[in-house]
Amino acid sequence: MSAVWLKIITILCLYCSALTDTEVKGLVWRNVGEAFTIQCRTDREQESLCLQMGLNKEFDVFFRNKISVKDIVAQKFTGRLESNGVFPNMDIFIKNLSLTDTGPYWCGYSMYDEMAHEQKVINGKGSMLLVVTDEGLPYHSETTTRRHQ
Ligand SMILES: *[C@@H]1O[C@H](CO)[C@@H](O)[C@H](O)[C@H]1NC(C)=O
């Protein structure tokens, strides 16, 4: 088995065990140069959305505040990312994918909790694992990606 596949399997295992049942366990396969859309959803009032990447959410990809229409996009995704929708429900489209875009993407919503006097962060619906490969898709992409199209 190639090193690429061992890496993908490791990411898969860590990602699936990190998710709770209430979150969407979406898995999307793409080839290098292709595009994907992540659909962040929540049914509760929120003040901001931060799309984060990485097993420990260590990388901020995209930020949108409720009262501002200006997006903040990480340099790595500048010119490749578009957002659509009405806050807090946003579709985030990323094109020209590269191998280093592989990883979990989390829809992190944040709201100030008056009672607790603290910022409350929740995972919205739409979090997913993206796997970008240059070795061809492992099986027909329609079976794994239809719910996101
Ligand atoms: C896509 O990204 C690669 C680097 O990953 C870059 O060389 C290429 O110019 C980009 N293509 C487009 C159409 O932006």
Tell me, in angstroms, the distance from the centre of ligand 1 to residue 94's CA.
12
Ligand 1 nearest atom to the CA of residue 79, by list position? 14
Please tell me what DSSP assigns to residue 78.
Answer: T
The pTM of the full predicted model, rounded to 2 decimals, is 0.78
The CA distance from 15 to 105, in Å, is 10
List the helix and strand counts (H, then E) for the chain: 2, 10
- The CATH number of whichever domain residue 54 belongs to comes to 2.60.40.10
Dig out the tokens for 108 from the structure. 């992190």
Residue pair 11/103 in contact by the 8 Å Cβ criterion: yes
Whether 102 maps to a domain, the answer reads yes
Number of structural domains, the chain?
1
Ligand 1 nearest atom to the CA of residue 80, by list position? 14
The CA distance from 141 to 132, in Å, is 12
Whether 29 maps to a domain, the answer reads yes
Whether 72 maps to a domain, the answer reads yes
Whether 10 maps to a domain, the answer reads yes
Q: What is the CA radius of gyration of the chain?
A: 16
Q: State whether residue 43 is helix, strand or coil.
A: coil
The CA distance from 39 to 51, in Å, is 10
Close Cβ partners of 84 (under 8 Å, ≥ 6 residues apart)? 90, 91, 93
Whether 121 maps to a domain, the answer reads yes
Question: Domain range spanning residue 83?
Answer: 3-134
Whether 143 maps to a domain, the answer reads no
Whether 9 maps to a domain, the answer reads yes
The CA distance from 40 to 11, in Å, is 21
Spell out which residues line ligand 1, taking CB within 6 angstroms.
96, 98
Digit-by-digit pLDDT tens for the chain (149 residues) are: 566 666 766 766 666 666 554 455 588 889 999 999 999 999 999 999 999 999 889 999 999 999 887 899 999 999 999 999 999 999 999 999 999 999 999 999 999 988 889 989 988 999 889 989 987 665 544 444 444 44
**End-to-end alpha-carbon separation of the chain, Å?**
31
Tell me, in angstroms, the distance from the centre of ligand 1 to residue 96's CA.
6
